[in-house]
Amino acid sequence: MALLPILVYPDPRLHTVARPVQAVDDRIRQLASDMLETMYDSKGVGLAATQVDVHEQVIVMDTSEEHDHPMVLINPRIVWMSDEHIIWEEGCLSVPGIYDKVERAAAVRVQALDEQGQLREIEANELTAVCIQHEMDHLKGKVFVEYLSMLKRGRIKTKMLKAQREAQS
Ligand code: K1U
Ligand code: ZN
Helices marked H in 10-125: 26-41
pTM, 2 dp = 0.97
By alpha-carbon position, which residue is closest to atom 20 of ligand 1?
A: 44
Cα of 146 from ligand 2 centre, angstroms: 11
Instruction: Write down the catalytic residue from 90, 135, 146, 166.
Output: 135
By alpha-carbon position, which residue is closest to atom 18 of ligand 1?
A: 91
Closest listed ligand to the CA of 143: 2
pLDDT above 90 for 169: no
pLDDT digits (tens, 9 = 90+) for 82-133: 999 999 999 999 999 999 999 999 999 999 999 999 999 999 999 999 999 9
User: CA-CA distances (angstroms) from residue 123 to 7, 8, 30, 47, 86?
Assistant: 29, 30, 26, 19, 16
Please indicate whether residue 56 is annotated as part of the active site. Answer: no
